[in-house]
């Protein structure tokens, strides 16, 4: 059972602190999610499937108990709103409730439950915010299910390609996205028409709380992160190096066309470029995430004649991505000439960096200082729905919560004491900084 940190019960509404957020509600819902969407292999909440629907029903139930207004858009995204004193675009807090197969309990869900904990604290303290505050439970963020990223948030902004509705099929059962939306009570036709429920005109700002999916906060011993931006990327998902098979003992070095050596050389060159650019203060990560020979052809005593690999390069800086792409093609050409191989990188997929609003970043930093706890301002390497909000012209921010053992696995581990600190940070931000300052 999730325990409630003692520190979260001691906050009082005064000149510095915020009204106590309802951490007990979050703990209860984390426990219920564990009981209802887990098995011996982890947590599985498929997009537009049973586990995700259970989670949506749970948070909607609690929102109604709090007297929040609840609405659902054509894509089945859920909105839970505490009305403010003034009319106009309000503050939105949100994240997703689906998970990867055999994932963890906190990825995505922590952001939605944090928003509910903040609003429950306001309701129980009798506080009416200046503007509306809405918690959004976003559908289908995890690309593993339909082979497409940010399905729910893209639908909300009218940015989902109509062709995707019929062509995308859920990996677990082959159900089309169109059928899945309609089966959950949505309106796929409205989505195909590009109808937008959200826009920069009706969302004043968006904050996405999320567990950190890397080890930075754990390694630094810091409980909370404030995100500066979401890294963009270029990716070659199905790259190939063509060499020539040969006898490992009988072929001299200068007569070889060794695909393994060629790709290994490329790995070293790009790693050296990563080191050099990092020394210059550039933001960059480079990953060769798959690397394999052909099991039907490769053997212990053979020079490898072919290698399949994938490459994922990410940065907050578009110019750094452009530079790394240039370096990649230069090094490929050099290796082809020097080692008598041929590279076929295949098709490229890209995503643009999403910059968080500097005003939101600085004000979150100020709130953390006011609450007297340490935070780390840092980039985000993983993709999140916040990128769609930022790209749509909505001032956007993200809060990270320290999390052990990575993510997308059952072992992810967020301490509720850290969650409580991050929740109080968000609550303070909601109270202290009106939308006019953003």
Mind listing the pLDDT tens digit for each residue in 35-79?
999 988 999 999 999 999 999 999 999 999 999 999 999 999 999
Residue 1 lies in a domain: no
The more confidently predicted of residues 432 and 325 is: 325
Domain finish residue from 329, 351, 373: 351
Confidence of residue 436 (pLDDT cuts 50, 70, 90): low
Rounded Cα gap, residues 405 and 3, in angstroms: 20
Runs of H (alpha helix) within 73-129: 109-125
Of 290, 316, 351, which residue sits at a domain end? 351
Residue 69 bridge partners (DSSP): 81
Q: Quick one: average pLDDT of 7-27?
A: 65
- Asked if the structure places residue 383 within a domain, the reply is yes
Do 182 and 241 sit in the same domain of this protein? no
- State the average pLDDT over residues 75-91: 95
User: Is the pLDDT higher at 329 or at 8?
Assistant: 329
Among candidate residues 164, 288, 313, the one with its CA nearest the CA of residue 235: 313
d(CA 210, CA 196): 25
The boundaries of the domain holding residue 61 are: 6-231+353-437
pLDDT at 80: 98
344 in the same domain as 359: no
Asked if pLDDT for residue 7 goes beyond 50, the answer is no
Q: At what angle do helices 109-125 and 23-37 cross, to 10 degrees?
A: 140
Q: What's the rounded mean pLDDT across residues 304-329?
A: 97
Mean pLDDT computed over 113-127: 96
Q: Could you report the per-residue pLDDT of 169-223, keeping only the tens digit for each?
A: 999 999 999 999 999 999 999 999 999 999 999 999 999 999 999 999 999 999 9
Which residue's structure tokens are 């696995």? 409
Rounded to whole angstroms, how far apart are CA atoms 290 and 282? 25
What's the confidence (pLDDT) of residue 9?
A: 41
**pLDDT (average), residues 288-311:** 96
Assign residue 323 the CATH number of its domain: 3.30.70.360
Do residues 255 and 361 both lie within one domain?
Answer: no
Q: What is the mean pLDDT of residues 299-316?
A: 96
Strands 342-344 and 396-401: unpaired
The arithmetic mean of pLDDT across residues 374-398, rounded, is 94
- CA–CA separation, 316 vs 231, rounded Å? 4
**CATH code at position 431:** 3.40.630.10
* Cβ atoms within 10 Å of 281's Cβ, excluding its own: 6
Return the SS3 of 67.
Answer: coil
Scan for tokens 């991505």, then name that residue: 321
Q: Is the pLDDT of residue 161 over 80?
A: yes
* Res 14: pLDDT: 43
Nearest to 22 by CA among 418, 432, 423: 423
Between the alpha carbon of residue 4 and those of residues 158, 221, 316, 419, 425, the distances in Å are: 40, 21, 36, 10, 17
Last residue of a domain, one of 322, 351, 380: 351
Its sign, for the CA torsion 424, 51, 186, 397, is positive
The total domain count for the chain is 2
Phi and psi at 203, nearest 5°, equal: -120, 115
* 265 shares its domain with 318: yes
pLDDT of 40 = 86
Claim to verify: residue 277 and residue 221 sit in the same structural domain: no
Asked whether 270 and 321 are in contact (CB, 8 A), the reply is: no
Same domain (yes/no): 148, 24? yes
Q: Which two tokens stand for residue 198?
A: 């959200």
Residue 143, H or E segment: helix 143-146
Return d(Cα 215, Cα 234) in angstroms, integer. 23
Check whether residue 137 and residue 279 sit in a common domain. no
pTM value is 0.86
Looking at the structure, do residues 325 and 386 belong to the same domain, yes or no?
Answer: no
Q: Is residue 250 domain-resident? A: yes
Average pLDDT over residues 269-287: 97
Return the closest-CA partner of residue 248 out of 316, 198, 302: 302
Clarify whether residues 91 and 20 are in a common domain: yes
User: What are the Cα distances from residue 171, in Å, to 13, 64, 96, 138?
Assistant: 48, 33, 19, 19
**Is residue 357 helix, strand or coil?**
coil
Instruction: Check pLDDT > 60 for residue 13.
Output: no
Same-domain pairing of 281 and 316: yes
Would you say residue 218 lies in a domain? yes
**pLDDT, averaged across the chain:** 93
pLDDT of residue 12: 40
Could you tell me which residues are beta bridge partners of residue 350?
A: 234
What is the pLDDT confidence band of residue 15, given thresholds at 50, 70 and 90?
very low
Percent of the chain residues topping a pLDDT of 90: 87
Strand ranges in 269-382 using DSSP code E only, listed in sequence order: 285-293, 302-303, 306-315, 342-344, 348-351, 354-355, 375-380
pLDDT band at 148 (very low <50, low <70, confident <90, very high): confident
In a domain, residue 257? The reply is yes
| 263 and 185 within one domain | no
Residue 78: its H or E element: strand 78-82
Q: What is the DSSP letter of 3?
A: P
Residues 181, 198, single domain; the answer is yes
């Amino acid at each position: 059972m999730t325990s409630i940190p003692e520190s979260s019960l001691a906050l009082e509404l005064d000149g510095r602190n915020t009204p106590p957020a309802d951490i007990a509600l979050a703990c209860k819902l984390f426990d219920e999610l564990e009981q209802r969407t887990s098995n011996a292999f982890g947590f599985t909440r498929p997009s537009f499937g049973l586990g995700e629907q259970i989670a949506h029903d749970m948070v909607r139930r609690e929102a109604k108990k709090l007297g929040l207004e609840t609405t659902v858009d054509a894509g089945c995204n859920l909105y839970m709103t505490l009305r403010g004193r003034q009319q106009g675009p309000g503050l939105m807090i949100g994240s997703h409730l689906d998970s990867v197969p055999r994932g963890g309990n906190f990825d995505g869900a922590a952001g939605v439950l944090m928003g509910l904990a903040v609003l429950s604290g306001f309701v129980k303290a009798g506080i009416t915010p200046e503007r509306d505050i809405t918690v959004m439970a976003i559908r289908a963020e995890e690309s593993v299910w339909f082979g497409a990223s940010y399905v729910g948030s893209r639908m909300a902004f009218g940015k989902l390609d109509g062709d995707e509705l019929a062509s995308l099929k859920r990996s677990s059962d082959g159900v089309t996205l169109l059928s899945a939306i309609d089966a959950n009570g949505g309106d796929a036709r409205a989505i195909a028409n590009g109808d937008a429920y959200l826009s920069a005109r009706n969302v004043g700002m968006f904050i996405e709380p999320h567990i950190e999916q890397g080890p930075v906060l754990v390694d630094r011993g810091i409980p909370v992160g404030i995100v500066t931006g979401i890294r963009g990327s270029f990716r070659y998902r199905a790259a190939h190096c063509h060499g020539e098979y040969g006898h490992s003992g009988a072929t001299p070095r200068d007569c070889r066309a060794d695909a393994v050596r060629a790709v290994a050389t490329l790995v070293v060159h790009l790693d050296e470029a990563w080191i050099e650019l990092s020394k210059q203060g550039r933001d960059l990560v480079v990953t060769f995430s798959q690397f394999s020979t052909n099991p039907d052809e490769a053997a212990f005593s053979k020079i490898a004649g072919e290698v399949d690999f994938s490459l994922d390069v990410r940065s907050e800086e578009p110019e750094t991505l452009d530079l790394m792409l240039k370096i990649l093609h230069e090094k490929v050409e050099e290796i082809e000439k020097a080692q008598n191989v041929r590279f076929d990188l295949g098709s490229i997929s890209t995503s643009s960096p999403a910059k968080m609003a500097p005003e939101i970043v600085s004000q979150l930093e100020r709130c953390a200082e006011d609450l007297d706890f340490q935070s780390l301002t840092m980039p985000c390497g993983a993709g999140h729905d916040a990128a769609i909000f930022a790209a749509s012209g909505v001032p956007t921010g993200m809060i990270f919560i320290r999390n052990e053992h990575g993510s997308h696995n059952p072992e992810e581990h967020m301490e509720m004491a850290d969650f409580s600190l991050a929740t109080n940070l968000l609550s303070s931000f909601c109270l202290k900084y009106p939308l006019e300052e953003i």
